[in-house]
Amino acid sequence: MTDIKGTAVITGASSGIGAVYADRLAARGYDLVLVARSADKLEQVADRIRARTGRQVDILAADLGNAVDLASVEDFLKTTPDVTLLVNNAGLGGALPLVESDIEQMTAMIALNVTALTRLTYAAVPEFIARGTGTIVNIASIVAINPETLNGVYGGSKAFVLAFSQNLKHELEGTGVHVQVVLPGATATDFWAIAGKPVELLPSAIVMSGEDLVDASLVGLDRGEFVTIPSLQDGRLYDAYETARQAMAGKLSGSVPATRYRAAS
C-alpha cells in the first residue's frame, strides 16, 4: 500500500536549501507547494521535480515580507486540508556590522525571518492539532546560539526562531504535531552573496553543500529530533548546553533578589 504523505509547503523554495528540501521531499512521496517571490525560478524547480518524480507540484509566488501576499499564503494553509508538513525556510541574512547596516533592510529581515515564520506557523498549527498530526520544520541558523557571528539582527531573528520553536514544541507535546528546528552552519547558497559576502570568501572547511545539509536534517527529522545542527560534529556539546539551560528552569523567578545582588553595607 502507498504511504500517503500529503502536501509539504516549503517557503523559499526557489533556490538554495528550500529547493533541495523540495527535491528530497518529493522523492519521499510528498506533493509540494513551493513559495517564494520569483515565479520563474519556482516554475523551474517545479518542472524539474514533476519530470523526475511525477508528484503534484504547485507554486505560490508571494513576497512574504508583504502583508497581503503573506495573508494569501496563510489563507492557503488554513484552508488546504492535505497539508501535512510546513518548512519555514525563507530567510534573509546580513554580514555587515549593525552600525553599517541599513535599518530598513534590518526591518525587512525581521519581517521575513520572524513575522512571516510566526504567522505561517499560526496558520498551520490549529489544523495540525485538529487532525492530531503534522510537522513544522523551522530553519534557524547556528547564529541562534552564536549571535556574535554575522549581523546582530540576523542572529537575533534566528534566536527568535529557536526560542519560538522551543516553546512550540513544549506547547504541542501530546498533540501529535512534531516540531523540528534546524540550525545550519555556513551553507553554499546564494544567501551569502545576497548578504554581502560571497560564499567563496569563506574557508571551504566550514561550508557545507545544501544537499548534505538537507539530507542530514532529514535524518534528524526521521529520528524525531527537535534541534538539528548538521555541522556540529560532537552532538554532546549541544546536549551539555541544553542540560545547563534546563538546570535553570524553575530557578529563574523568585520574590527575593539573589544574595550576590545585596548592596554592600
- The nearer residue to ligand NAP, 15 or 53, going by C-beta atoms, is 15
**Residue 158: all three cell numbers together:** 534566528
Region from 57-65, 119-127, 220-228, 234-242 binding ligand NAP, contact rule CB under 6 A: 57-65
> Residues 21-50: x/- map of binding to ligand NAP (CB under 6 A)?
---------------xxx--x---------
Query: Interface with ligand NAP includes 123 (CB under 6 A)?
Result: no
Catalytic-labelled residue, pool 21, 30, 122, 154: 154
220 is a contact residue toward ligand NAP (CB under 6 A): no
Q: How many CA atoms lie within 13 A of 9 on its CB side?
A: 28
Of the two residues 7 and 187, which places its CB atom closer to ligand NAP in the complex?
Answer: 187
Between the alpha carbon of residue 248 and those of residues 4, 170, 242, the distances in Å are 42, 16, 10
- The side-by-side arrangement of strands in the sheet containing 7-11 is 57-61, 31-36, 7-11, 83-88, 134-139, 177-182, 227-228
Q: Would you give the binding string for ligand NAP spanning residues 189-218, x where CB under 6 A is met? A: xxx--x------------------------
- Which residue of 17, 49, 109, 168 would you call a contact of ligand NAP, by CB under 6 A? 17
Cβ nearer to ligand NAP, comparing 112 with 125: 112
Contact between 86 and 135 under an 8 Å Cβ cutoff? The reply is yes
Query: Dihedrals φ, ψ of 111, to 5°?
Result: -60, -40
Pairwise CA distance, residues 208 & 184, whole Å: 9
Residues with a known catalytic role: 154
